[in-house]
Amino acid sequence: MQRKRPRKSALLAFGAGMLVAIGLLAAAVYATIPPPPPDSTCTGTAPGQLPNSVEVPNKNTSADCTTTDGVLVSYIGSSDTVRQASGTGLFDPFVRLQASPAEQGFNTDAPVTFDAKTGTWTHAILVSAIPVVTINGTRYWELFNDINETNGAKHISLNRVEIWFTTNASITDGTGTTFTGFAAPASLKYSFNGEIRINDVNSGSGRGDLRFLVPLTNIPAPAANPYFVVYSQWGAAPGTTYASDGGFEEWKVRKGPNVSIVQTANPVGPVNAGDNIGFDITVSNTGAADATNVTITDTLPAGAGNDLSWSLDPAFTGCSIAAGPPQVLTCNLGTVAAGSSVTGIHITSDTSAADCALVSNTANVAFDGGTGSSTASVTVNCGALMIKKESTKTGNPLVANAGAAFSVDGPDADTTPDFSVTDDLTAAAPDEDALAGEVCVSGLAPGAYTINETTAPPGYGIASQTNVSLTVANGTNCSDSTKLPGSGATATFTDPPLSKIEVKFTSVVSGETNSSITCAKDSTTVNAVSENGQQDAAFGITSNSAADPTLVTLASGLTNVNTGDKLRVIIAGVTGSVPTINGTWNATVMDSTHVTIPVAVTTGGTGGTMTVFDDTDETFGNGTTGLTPGTYACTVVIDP
């Protein structure tokens, strides 16, 4: 029993040569094209073949002819061992005609007119359901006709064929008596008007006796997916007529594999930078025949940062990913049986801050008789944060020096900081801001962050703020002035600028005076020292010169001294000096590693140490432990 083909289409359904991914026809207006005069011919090449004929003597043979407009017409004998497969298979009939001595009609979902027969064999059919085959580089619509004549000679002639596009599944010609074509917006795409004589030697029905291949060379592909209407007329040839004896003629298309590929993002997304993206691929065959030599080819996206690295997770038999670049997924699936699907192909890649964009991927399927593709996309979300370093000075200007360091903990369950960033002037990641006192970091997963200052910039104390919270918003970055992080994505730290106080006490060579020095901020002592004439740690001596006065070179530098300062020193352990310089001296500072003592030396010496009495100046708040802004009072007490 032949069944009526379901009248619906799938956007990515395609069979053995079927047109792919055609949607609904655009609302264009087509003018009706009148049929040509009856001057079409069909010429064969077999020896002795009559013009306008595909007649065969018996069912062991087949015959072909080519019309003036390139249509290939073949009658295929059911016992032709070479070509009989061309007329067999699973078929979908779409219009049946039956009358005598002539018959005509067309397929539609409307009540039939002319000689079309009501039943599952007459219905509307979409262009996407018409198989397309390629022969010697030319693409053809492939139509078949099941011829069922019962007279002794089994003769019939095909005299007229027209192919129309329409958006109306229930199209009518408006007359029902004489076919003059369809009104706009229906569009005539092909017309034959002549004679092709046929000797129907095959027995029974259910096969494709006549193969009718219409070239698509001059037929533009429709912008959408219209209905495909075939009008035909039989048994009314001009001149010699092979009339119909009342058997039926039925136009049909061969059913083949109906293969589709569907790709979906998994996870669906959006995903945050640093998370994995992936795609699932499924190949299905909803057709009536097995699909053979099925392959998948997918040139995988490299991502905005050219750093995506794809893998199959889990591994899938028959599939592999070439290293690239670009990486290419290839799957050899072999045969996909009718009504079955191949699932479980999953590809995945991690992402980075460089991949903040829409990632699209197109997978392609190919099989014997057709191709198809499917595209899916996933968005990788990214945002940016800002850190500001301000001085506690009035007006809170940005700090003058770069170098502050921060720990950053992002939106995850782990409280360990995700990364650290240092304020620098390069404008290169991670700090993309070239200003001292500002840090901007982009390519971050949106969400909540906690910032802490770990190192203050030179000349500043550490900020009092800790665990400063902010929220990174998707779509923000450090390069577009219109998309910079807002106040909710900015952490501000205020650092006090540091100072030092120097108080100088000198006993003026005698070494007999002592002092005590105390400095306090707002009545709180910040430092206190006592100058009591005791010796400090010794400085190593490298050499002393033959000169008057001799120049003593130290192995390490004095601190808190100026050129010309007078120091009370003890020198010991020097060898080779003539005269010796070992003893107590009033030394004069030349620089931090040189002093002179008042003695004329003719031969220099080496080694030994120089100890300085504790009578130099004192510094409060030196280096990174400087004094924060405030009011300080220093008291010096000299005890003779």
- Predicted confidence at residue 582, as pLDDT, reads 95
Question: In DSSP terms, which residues pair with 524 in a beta bridge?
Answer: 521
The more confidently predicted of residues 67 and 429 is: 67
The pair of structure tokens assigned to 211 is 């193969």
Average pLDDT over residues 453-466: 92
Q: What is the pLDDT of residue 221?
A: 83
By the 10 Å C-beta count (0-12 exposed, 13-18 middle, 19+ buried), 2 is classed as: middle
pLDDT at 40: 74
pLDDT score, position 386: 96
pLDDT at 544 over 90: yes
Q: Per-residue pLDDT averaged across 202-212, rounded?
A: 85
* Model pLDDT for residues 582-601, shown as the tens digit of each residue: 998 889 999 999 999 999 99
Residue 339 maps to which CATH number?
2.60.40.740
The pLDDT score that the predictor gives to residue 575 is 96
409 and 537 together in one domain? no
- Answer yes or no: do 109 and 244 share one domain: yes
Task: Pick 238 or 538 by higher pLDDT.
Answer: 538
Same domain for 332 and 272, yes or no, is yes
Cα 603 to Cα 547: distance, rounded to the nearest angstrom: 8
Q: Are residues 67 and 120 in the same domain?
A: yes
**pLDDT tens, position by position, 141-197:** 999 999 988 756 688 999 999 999 999 999 998 666 788 899 989 999 999 988 899
Please write the tens of the pLDDT for every residue from 410-422: 887 788 898 999 9
Q: Are residues 170 and 90 in the same domain?
A: yes
570, β-bridge pairs:
584, 611
Write the pLDDT tens digit of every residue in 286-300.
Answer: 887 888 899 999 999
At residue 512, the pLDDT reads 62
Name which residue leads in pLDDT, 81 or 407.
Answer: 407
Q: What pLDDT is attached to residue 466?
A: 95
Q: What is the mean pLDDT of residues 390-414?
A: 90
What mean pLDDT comes out for the span 544-550?
94
Specify the number of domains making up the chain.
Answer: 4
Q: Tell me, what's the pLDDT at 41? A: 84
Does residue 37 sit within a domain? Answer: no
Tell me the β-bridge partners of 294.
334
User: pLDDT tens digit string along 374-391?
Assistant: 999 999 999 999 999 999
CATH code, domain with 452: 2.60.40.10
Q: Are residues 482 and 538 in the same domain?
A: no
Q: Is residue 2 part of a domain?
A: no
Percent of the chain with pLDDT over 70: 85
Q: Residue 168 belongs to what domain range?
A: 42-255
Q: Is the pLDDT of residue 27 over 50?
A: no
Does residue 544 lie in a domain region? yes
HEC secondary structure over 441-472: EEEECCEEEEEEEEECCCCECCCCCCCEEEEE
Asked which of 203, 224, 255 is the last residue of a domain, the reply is: 255
Mean pLDDT calculated for residue range 100-128: 92
Same domain? 247 vs 297: no
> Do residue 487 and residue 506 come from a single domain?
no
Domain final residue, candidates 225, 255, 285: 255
The answer, yes or no, to whether residue 566 has pLDDT greater than 50, is: yes
Q: Would you say 140 and 132 are in contact if contact means Cβ atoms under 8 Å apart?
A: yes
| pLDDT band, residue 15 (cuts 50/70/90) | very low
Cα distance between residue 131 and residue 289, in whole Å = 14
pLDDT given for residue 133 in this prediction: 82
Kindly state the average pLDDT of the residues 303-320.
93
pLDDT in tens, 502-511: 776 666 555 5
DSSP 30-71: -PPPPPPPS-B-EE--STTPPTTB---SSTT--EEEEETT--
> Would you place residue 22 in the very low, low, confident or very high pLDDT band (cuts 50, 70, 90)?
very low
Name which residue leads in pLDDT, 18 or 496. 496
Q: What percent of the chain has pLDDT over 90?
A: 51
For the cut 50, the answer to whether the pLDDT of residue 4 exceeds it is: no
The average confidence (pLDDT) of the chain is: 84
| Cβ(590)–Cβ(468) below 8 Å | no
585 domain-assigned: yes
Q: Check pLDDT > 50 for residue 24.
A: no
Residue with tokens 């000075």: 393
Last residue of a domain, one of 434, 469, 495: 495
With respect to residue 477, please indicate whether it lies within any of the assigned structural domains. yes
Residues 235 and 102: beta-carbon distance below 8 Å: yes
- Tell me, yes or no, if the pTM score tops 0.85: no
- The pLDDT assigned to 450 comes to 95
Cα separation, 615 vs 405, whole angstroms: 39
Residues 272 and 235 in one domain: no
- Residue 408: phi and psi, rounded to 5, are -130, 125
Residue 437 shares a structural domain with residue 467: yes
When pLDDT is averaged across residues 481-499 and rounded to a whole number, the result is: 92
- Mean pLDDT value of segment 492-514: 74
Query: Do both 448 and 538 map to the same domain?
Result: no
Contacts of 230 (CB under 8 A, 6+ apart): 94, 95, 106, 107, 143, 161, 162, 163, 251
Is the residue at 293 inside a domain? yes
Domain co-membership, 293 together with 334: yes
Residue 5 lies in a domain: no
Q: Assess if residue 442 is contained within a domain.
A: yes
pLDDT on residue 530: 52
Phi, psi of 199 (to 5 degrees): -115, 105
Q: Any idea what the CATH number is for the domain that residue 595 is in?
A: 2.40.30.180
